[in-house]
Structures are given as structure tokens and as C-alpha cells.
Structure 1
Amino acid sequence: MSDEKIKAIVDSLVGKTESGLVAWKEVGGTLKSNSFKVSFPKSTVIIEDISTDNMFGVAIARAAMPSYRVSVLNWKGEEVDGAKDTELNGAPQGLNLKPNEYTDKLAKLFEMARRQAMGVDDTLDDILKELNSREF
């Protein structure tokens, strides 16, 4: 039952993010942030790229095996639920299978959240504006 609710949250966040109706922010604010959050009055949802982690603690290539985790925090900031993409895809806990429906959805959500939180489009627009206004 919990996974079905997490799937519904992911599906809704993908649509709302595409429509520009949610405001994502970086978690931590590092140069290479791997997690982003959207906050609501009584809760927060975090999307995290966990591609460089696995159950053995060995780094794995992001392109070879993308992996994501979505976490739900309550009003106290405590994690009350969450799931990895592989769990939402139906894999046994801790087992990484090849990317599937929710790997793709979480990858898309992560990339949209990252671009929004980091202001990627605004930054690119500023660079283009500068390049177009100068003579080289």
C-alpha cells in the first residue's frame, strides 16, 4: 500500500514539475548536489541520485546503473517513508535490476528538479545574452 502512495506522489510530482507548479530546492547546496527537495506545509519530499552507492559501498558508474531514492519527511523533518526506484519497479529490497518504469520516472524527476533548483535555464539564458551582446 505504501509503495502505491509513493508511486502516486512521484507521478503527480512529475506532472506538476513539468507544469512549473512546484518549487524544488537543493538539499545541502554543494556544487555537485545529488538531492533536491520540495516542501509542503506539513511535509517534504526529497529526490536523491544514489547511483554511486550500492549495498557493498562500492562506487558504480551512474550511466551504467542509474538509481534514485524518494523520501517523505513529516513536519518534524523525520523520514516517515521512502523507496528506491528498484523497489517501486517491484525488485526485492536491495536488488538492483536494469532500469525500469520508476527508474525512468525518478530520473526524469531528478533532472527536472536539478535544473529548476540550480537555475540551469536562467544561467544558460544569461550566458547567451552576454554572448549576443558582446563583440568578440
Structure 2
Amino acid sequence: MPVDNKGFTREEIREFMHEYYLQPHGTRKEWLASTPISDWTFRRWRKMLVQGDIDRGLIPREHGGMAPTNRELSAFEKARSKEMAAHRAEVEKLQKRVQELEDTNSALGKAIGLLHELSVPEPDTTQTSAQKDS
């Protein structure tokens, strides 16, 4: 069954759910009440994220006792946190590499500028036409 995303993208829904699970125990209900998302929409998004297919906006049909336990949700959140940490590390690594390449590019630009300055032709010397007799 497709779910209405209320104008949010899949990534925004994932990020919203991630923020929800980061809230300390006992404060999640208050945090959720402070957001513009209704309880009904939140429950649908949670089912879509944990049990269904968020990329296609589908949630499974109701089958009674197939709801995830808190342990399963916690495992999901730990996996998500691990994935986010790996992503941050990769971004950090790539940013360092970009900075290194920009520094190299800058140094090469300066070196090329110096070579151009050094390769400027010198003014011609006047040739003497007088020949010496020996």
C-alpha cells in the first residue's frame, strides 16, 4: 500500500526518523509533538522505513504480530548510525584529498608562473662589426 509522504523526500523521512531515534528515552513523545508531523503520519513512516520499502513508498499489509520489537528498531538505528559514521569518514577523507589536490594545483600554478618569468627573452646585444686584426 503506497504512503503519502506529505511533501517530504525519502531522505528527509530517513533523517527525521534518525533524529527521532536519537532522542533520549522518555523525551521522544515531546519531541514528536514539537514537530509538524502527526502521530498517524509518523507511525506510517516508521512502518515504511522499518518493515516496508521506503524507496517505493510501500508498507507491508497488517499481519498482526509481525511488528518489529524495540530490539529490532534499536538494531536498525545502530546499523544506520554505523552507516552514517562510515559516510562521514569517507566525506572527511575526500575533503582532505580535495584540499591536497588544490594545494598541489596552486603550487603548480606558481611554478608555471615563475617559469614563464624566467623564459622571457633577454634584450638582444648589439653585435660589433669591427673585426680585430691579429
Normalising by the residue count of structure 2, what TM-score does the alignment of the two structures yield?
0.30
Normalising by the residue count of structure 1, what TM-score does the alignment of the two structures yield?
0.30
Structure showing the higher helix proportion among its residues: 2
Which protein shows a greater Rg?
A: 2
Structure showing the higher strand proportion among its residues: 1
